[in-house]
Structure 1
Amino acid sequence: MIDDLINGVIDREGGYVHHPADRGGATRWGITEAVARANGYAGDMRHFAREAAAVIYRRIYWQRPRIDDVAQRAPSIAAELFDTGVNMGPAVAVAFLQRALNALNRGARDYPDILLDGRIGPQTLGALDGFLATRGAAGETVLLKALEALQGERYVSLAERRPANEAFLYGWLANRLA
């Protein structure tokens, strides 16, 4: 699963880009120069290898935030968290999950509220398990819609707060929301 997700992100992000309105600066394969440097790459971003990007995606955006644990329970949710985490940071993606789970627990009757800390741990996984046990397969679809709604709202908010981000809003909405 993760190999397909990584290849999809790399294909969508494309090669070298250095858009003047992008605060992330130079990127290649969707990896910013800052992330590449933090992971040991010292060369020109134009030459950053696709394989190095794949290693970073797997480690930083899949394994470290424990999205692989979510994938065992709800593959479509894991795919959404991965893609959102690549674009907004894993902690933001996980916080979306935590917010949605808290809002969908019917006043903590189905499972207890969880701390909004942007990290997947036993409480978040327990809440996800409780949600899926209560709502079944249809619940995964509803949870996915909640995550996409939170993501879309954030994109619009980013464009409202910083007009330069309007250059990216259409693409974010077209390419990042399933």
Structure 2
Amino acid sequence: MTDIAAYLNNLIAREGGYCDHPADRGGPTNWGITQAVARANGYNGEMRALPRTEAERIYRTLYWDAPHFDSIAPIAPKIAHELFDAGVNMGPPVAIRFLQRALNALNRNGQDYADLASDGAIGPATQRALAAFLAVRGAKGEAVLLKAMQALRGERYIALAEGRPANEAFVYGWLSNRIG
């Protein structure tokens, strides 16, 4: 199992401390953890006082272990990191669909492996497709797959702003801090 300590440090550095931005539907957050997520995971204190260790526990449980990103890390650590960060920002199923869609687009019409259902879940089929892709494309393949996932992520950020103008307050930060 990959130790996600470095991923957590990078994530928390980007997320920062306490914030209650009026355009953020998530309301008060600390370390990037929304009040609703904190409450659902047993934290009942003031959001300003959310301990970093509690945020790390929530991230590890909800955004690493539960979506099975830990099973991707030994195969493709850069992809696991992208899944983790995108999962925190957009929800794990969205991040996983980026991976599945990119793998489908890169399988050379099913020559390398069968198309995946874009179901937003890491399972044996997604793991096998990723392993097959990397076996065919090698180390450079991971970089290309990462670019494809980040392109899908960037498109989603633009769509979010187009669909809700208040999200324009966040697009620059999303694009500059989350992609690349």
TM-score under structure 2 length normalisation: 0.97
Offset at residue 43 of structure 1 (A)? 1.2
SS in 2 for 1:17: coil
Match of 1:12 among 11, 14, 21: 14
- How do 1:101-140 and structure 2 match up within 5 A? 101-140=103-142
The one-letter amino acid of 2:62's match is I
SS in 2 for 1:128: helix
Aligned-partner Cα distance in 2 for 1:99–1:25: 31
- How do 1:70-89 and structure 2 match up within 5 A? 70-89=72-91
Q: Deviations over 1:1-25 (max 9, x none)?
A: 4101101111111111000000111
SS in 2 for 1:71: coil
Match of 2:156 in 1: 154
Aligned-partner Cα distance in 1 for 2:85–2:100: 16
Aligned residues: CA RMSD: 0.7
Structure 1, unaligned stretches of length 5 or more? none
Q: State, as a whole percentage, how many aligned pairs show the same letter.
A: 64
Aligned-partner Cα distance in 1 for 2:16–2:8: 12
Q: Deviations over 1:59-95 (max 9, x none)?
A: 1111111111110000111111111111001110001
TM-score under structure 1 length normalisation: 0.98
Aligned-partner Cα distance in 1 for 2:74–2:58: 21
- How do 1:25-44 and structure 2 match up within 5 A? 25-44=27-46
Structure 2, unaligned stretches of length 5 or more? none
Aligned-partner Cα distance in 1 for 2:143–2:112: 18
**Superposed structure 1 runs of 4+ greater than 4 Å apart:** none
The one-letter amino acid of 1:103's match is A
